[in-house]
Amino acid sequence: MSDRAISAANWVRRAVSLALPPRCPGCGVSVGDDHQFCAACWQGLRFLGPPWCAGCNLPFAYDRGAARCASCLAEPPGHAGVRAAVAYGDVARRLALRLKYAGKTSGAETMARLIQRVVPAGIATLVPVPLNRWRLWSRGYNQATLIATALGARTAIPVERDALVRHRRTPVLRGLSGSQRSRAVRGAFQVTDRALIAGRTIGLVDDIYTSGATAAACTRTLLAAGAASVTILCWARVLPETGGD
């Protein structure tokens, strides 16, 4: 690119910045930089990290070493953990809804920036949780694919966007119990090419981890196709004390 072209591109970016100042991803007020939260929204986010359950990464109130939570002791998960950037709450929910339903696709980059800090070493491939083709057609994009693409760009981890598909329609899971969610997604996913999955440590990318039914169904499908392990990478996790829909 010539110096003149670079200068013109910089001028356009400055003009756009002046015309459309950066907005807080959570509430939309003006902020100093892209993907920056205002002070109120930043304080409304609960960032997740150790100490946590050695099995599913459920946060612990204090360091318990390699201990596992009661759920993991009763029924060890098939996945290798749930690495969520933040706990589900008002701000996290607003950002997810703006991405999913309001077309605010820049939210995927915002999420990826914060998910990046909890990605464990050794993830070889990112796979987004797929949408049914009819829902993809009506929405125009899969929010999990947007997040995975942004996360892949930041981490240099390859993204296999079409390795996992949802080959049948599933009902909206909001409002269903855990067992109802599990039944709704059972057998709904399939791997398109085992060569993309076999032997790889997979990061399964989604926006919200609620009951875990969808993640569990995807994990079973990926492991059956030969994946070495599956770690859930998501924006927000519903915790027992936060509830969720």
pLDDT more than 70, % of the chain: 84
C-alpha to C-alpha distance for 33 and 20, rounded to whole angstroms: 11
Is residue 109 domain-resident? yes
Average pLDDT over residues 130-153: 93
Number of domains in the chain: 2
76-87 pLDDT, tens digit per residue, is 999 999 999 999
- Is residue 71 domain-shared with residue 191, that is, in the same domain? yes
Q: Report the pLDDT averaged over residues 136-157.
A: 95
Q: In this structure, are 53 and 38 located in the same domain?
A: no
Picking from 186, 139, 140, the residue whose alpha carbon sits closest to that of residue 166 is 186
Q: Quick one: 37 and 97 in the same domain?
A: no
Same domain, 128 and 157: yes
- pLDDT, residue 133, reads 85
In our burial notation (b when 16+ CB lie closer than 10 A, e otherwise), range 149-187 reads: bbbbeebebebbeebbbbeeebeebeebeeeebbebbee
Q: Would you report the helix, strand and coil content of the chain in percent, each value rounded to 5?
A: 40, 15, 45
Q: Is the pLDDT of residue 239 over 50?
A: yes
Dihedral class, residue 187 (left if φ above 0, else alpha if ψ from -120 to 50, else beta): left
Average pLDDT on 3-12 reads: 49
Considering the domain architecture, whether residues 151 and 98 belong to the same structural domain is answered as yes
Answer whether residue 6 is part of any domain. yes
Pairing mode of beta strands 189-191, 164-166: antiparallel
- 27 is a domain residue: yes
Q: What pLDDT score does 16 carry?
A: 45
Flag whether the pTM goes above 0.85.
yes
The tokens describing 125, both together, are 């491939």
User: Tell me: the pLDDT tens digits for 164-198?
Assistant: 998 776 656 566 556 666 676 777 799 999 999 99
CATH of the domain at 98: 3.40.50.2020
pLDDT band at 98 (very low <50, low <70, confident <90, very high): very high
Please check whether residues 199 and 181 belong to one and the same domain. yes
Domain-embedded: residue 242: no
What local confidence, expressed as pLDDT, does residue 182 receive? 65
Q: Are residues 23 and 96 in the same domain?
A: no
Give the domain range for residue 150.
46-237
Q: Are residues 30 and 87 in the same domain?
A: no
Domain contains 175:
yes
Q: Is 243 contained in some domain?
A: no
Of 28, 43, 58, which residue is a domain's last?
A: 43
